[in-house]
Every structure is written in C-alpha cells, then in structure tokens.
Structure 1
C-alpha cells in the first residue's frame, strides 16, 4: 500500500492498516526503526492484552485442578 506525503510531511494511513491496528481519530501511533532499517508503525496508546499464557504466569491459583489448568491453557474457558 502506497500513500503520498504532503508538503507538511503528513500521510494518510490506509484504512486497512487503521482497521488492523484499531487506529481511530485521536489514537497515538509510534514509528520504530528496525535493525534492517525498515520502519514499523504501532499503536502507542494501547496496552496489548495479555495472552492466555501470560495470564497463567506465576501460579495456577488456589483450588484449580489439572483439568481446569489444561482448559485455561487451551483457551476453553
């Protein structure tokens, strides 16, 4: 997807990219340069939700048996 830079250095982020990242008017974005020199656009104002594995990090909690832990791991709850 290509876009044109205006005289003020502004660009329009393509709708497919805005939809993918959940960018709406007022959203903050961040541009980061990677090791290979390319630039990556990310949402800067939104915390990424914890994965189901990050939610289990630490301990399983009191009262969970093996079946309940496995169901959580598989995303069945």
Structure 2
C-alpha cells in the first residue's frame, strides 16, 4: 500500500468489509512499540446504523427531568432568554 502525496492510504476492501468500515467511519492512527496502527473509532456516521439504535437503547431512561415541561427544561438547559419579553 502506498501513501499519496497528501498522506492518504486506501484501506483494502476485505479489511473494510470485515470490520464494517464504511464511508463516514472514523479511524485513527496510533503509535505503539511495533509502529503505526490503524484503529477504528466509529464504524459509521450513518444515523440509521444499528450502532445508533444500540446507543439509544443504552441511554434510554437515563435522564429524569421530573415534572418539567419542555419549555422549563429548555430554560434550565440554556438559561433565561433576555431577548424576548415575558408572556
């Protein structure tokens, strides 16, 4: 595999297929005792990917806003707005 003038390399198709590396995936090169190593950070940036569904299920129900309405929560999150008059 050759490195281009821009420092780019092509990940072989069989490796991309084996590890689910698709367009939008995030990878990093890390250095260890044996030299540079490619590490998969995120398999896909696709929001419809199964990985997103797994994450969503994992965090579901972890935020309890009590009896706050959406407006109350947004004000708590962002702080009071100075650019609008009260209703």
TM-score (norm 2): 0.43
Determine which structure has more spread, i.e. the larger CA radius of gyration.
2
TM-score (norm 1): 0.48
- Greater strand content: 2
